[in-house]
Chains A and B, each alone.
Chain A
């Protein structure tokens, strides 16, 4: 256990990129070591690992979603998923790709389940934008949402109409001047694009 204690006080704030890289490597090694011990039944190492992961996952999600309730719920679900998948981690491989694949998967799950509306509303930039007395049009407000920035305008509008304004597919289609099946396709593609964008991000 002494080896573990030696890693514990490595911080990641206020360092040069090279130093951050080596510290990130240390962090990775520490997590991998604790998970390997946990797989052998060491509950103490496992509990410490979960505590550290909680912080790391929270930071990752907060930078993307903002809203504390969403972040808390998704962090808990991610930790539960890590717990369920713990036996699949191979200590010979890197820990972070394994961890953040799970976290992204849970974030995408949440996106599907709760809808984009809450995610967008949770973004502080969007909240500020919507408070603007000039009340900019939906597309401009959506520009502020990090997760939706990558979308083509027609997909952003499809998400806005259905998930934020809460229109039915038929109503949204009528408003956009397209058929309901085309609107359904746009919403589906928009969600898929958001998911792809999230999945394509490097590990923090």
Chain B
């Protein structure tokens, strides 16, 4: 096992440290998922309670439940894909993004369909002033956490990974606002889901700056 002397390679070998036990995609994903949900849930509840009767509405309207389920699925698929993209692999980027893109399109499609046929009767019940600012602000810490965790890995396409993280981070308050704020599909699209766009842009800008260039 003895190798010929080479300063460069010897230097790299001397820097070797054992891989931290938690640094596996599944653990990183779980850390992000639990910490981000805890923060978003806590922040939303700290400001105001969820919309009165949201639980009954979830049981009543299959479409509302489906909207929430797809939104949750988008969050899970988003972080899982971002983690996959943080490990060097020859699979093309577009192929990796299929599941989050399909879920995002389905979520937006359901909300857009609701414009003509709402899942619930639109109502001002539970309206939160400045809910879009809340959705935007509450997405920032999950984005920051995601970038900090992925910095330990090796994403090769840093801007797309940053954008995906931003989109995923924005989906968390976006989903919860569907239960915390008033129900109206147009309001949901513009005020709850809309902030995902600036978050994705922030992620795309921060990604190449924060994520490590290998």
Residue of B3, B6, B18 with most partner-chain A CB within 10 A: B3
Write out the residue numbers on chain B whose beta carbons fall within 8 Å of the beta carbon of A86. Answer: 16, 19
Q: Chain A nearest CB: distance from B212 CB in Å?
A: 7
**B89 pairs with A51, CB closer than 8 A:** no
Chain B at the A interface: mostly helix, strand, loop or mixed? loop
**A46 pairs with B88, CB closer than 8 A:** no
- Is B34 among interface residues, defined by CB-CB distance under 8 A? no
Q: Chain A nearest CB: distance from B16 CB in Å?
A: 5
- Is A101 among interface residues, defined by CB-CB distance under 8 A? yes
Write out the residue numbers on chain B whose beta carbons fall within 8 Å of the beta carbon of A51. Answer: 3-4, 6, 9
**B88 pairs with A101, CB closer than 8 A:** yes
- Is B87 among interface residues, defined by CB-CB distance under 8 A? yes
- Is A80 among interface residues, defined by CB-CB distance under 8 A? yes
Interface residue stretch chosen among B106-114, B123-131, B152-160, B174-182: B152-160
Write out the residue numbers on chain B whose beta carbons fall within 8 Å of the beta carbon of A100. Answer: 90
For A2-20 the 0/1 string (1 means CB < 8 A from B) is 0011001000000000000
Beta-carbon contacts under 8 Å, B78-133 to A: 86-90, 92
Interface residue stretch chosen among A36-44, A122-130, A140-148, A176-184: A36-44
**A46 pairs with B17, CB closer than 8 A:** no
- Is B23 among interface residues, defined by CB-CB distance under 8 A? yes
Write out the residue numbers on chain B whose beta carbons fall within 8 Å of the beta carbon of A39. Answer: 18-19
A4 to B3, CA, bound (A): 13
**A88 pairs with B12, CB closer than 8 A:** no
Interface size of A by Cβ–Cβ distance < 8 Å?
Answer: 37
Specify the chain A residue showing the minimal Cβ separation from B17.
A41
A85 to B89, CA, bound (A): 12
From A48, A84, A88, A203, contact of B3 by CB (8 A): A48
Given contacts A51-B9, A79-B8, A41 and B16 within 8 Å (CB-CB): yes
- Is A47 among interface residues, defined by CB-CB distance under 8 A? yes
**B19 pairs with A84, CB closer than 8 A:** no
- Is B1 among interface residues, defined by CB-CB distance under 8 A? yes
**B14 pairs with A43, CB closer than 8 A:** yes
Given contacts A46-B16, A81-B214, A85-B154, A101 and B89 within 8 Å (CB-CB): yes
Specify the chain A residue showing the minimal Cβ separation from B24.
A90
**B12 pairs with A101, CB closer than 8 A:** no
**A50 pairs with B12, CB closer than 8 A:** yes
**B214 pairs with A102, CB closer than 8 A:** yes
A51 to B212, CA, bound (A): 24
Specify the chain B residue showing the minimal Cβ separation from A52.
B3
**A88 pairs with B14, CB closer than 8 A:** no
Beta-carbon contacts under 8 Å, A61-112 to B: 76, 79-81, 83-90, 97-98, 100-102, 105
Residue of B9, B14, B152 with most partner-chain A CB within 10 A: B9
**A87 pairs with B15, CB closer than 8 A:** no
Beta-carbon contacts under 8 Å, B1-36 to A: 1-4, 6, 8-10, 12-20, 23
Q: List 14 A-B contacts (CB under 8 A).
A: A41-B16, A46-B13, A48-B2, A50-B9, A51-B4, A83-B15, A85-B154, A85-B214, A86-B19, A90-B87, A98-B89, A100-B90, A101-B90, A105-B88
Q: CB within 8 Å of A: which residues of B?
A: 1-4, 6, 8-10, 12-20, 23, 86-90, 92, 152-154, 156, 212, 214
Q: CB within 8 Å of B: which residues of A?
A: 1, 4-5, 8, 38-41, 43-48, 50-51, 54, 76, 79-81, 83-90, 97-98, 100-102, 105, 199, 203
10 smallest CB-CB distances across A and B, nearest first, come from: A85-B154, A41-B18, A47-B13, A51-B3, A101-B88, A39-B19, A81-B214, A84-B214, A88-B87, A87-B19
